[in-house]
Amino acid sequence: MVCIPAHRLVEMEMDGSEINLDMRFRLTNSSSVGSNLEYTTGVSVDNSKGEEVMKTISHAINSGKNPFIVIADDVNKEYISPDINQTDGVGEPASIN
């Protein structure tokens, strides 16, 4: 499970395959452990549905009243959009300067 504040989302983009949506999160608080890092996580989406999934995520972040949203939970099979198939996990963090 990964829980990252929505305001740390800096980018969403399809990776070119039309089925993998990559999301990048930046943590830049130099006073905490694990800060100044960028994390990438992804979800697999139905073919050519990436645009719709990005809009759904953006809408949930911008208009939701809950401080946490579930984008993809493979264990409980809970997804923010029916066009999401599974998560791709979280990649190793990269340092940012």
Write the pLDDT tens digit of every residue in 27-80: 776 655 556 778 888 899 998 899 999 999 999 999 988 777 888 888 899 999
96 vs 34: CA distance, rounded Å = 11
pLDDT value, residue 97:
55
pTM summary value: 0.80
Of residues 2 and 54, more confidence is placed in 54
Alpha-carbon Rg for the chain in angstroms: 13
Full 3-state SS string of the chain? CCCCCHHHEEEEEECCCCCEEEEEEEECCCCCCCCCEEEEEEEEECCCCHHHHHHHHHHHHHHCCCCCCCCEECCCCEECCCCEEEEEEECCCEECC
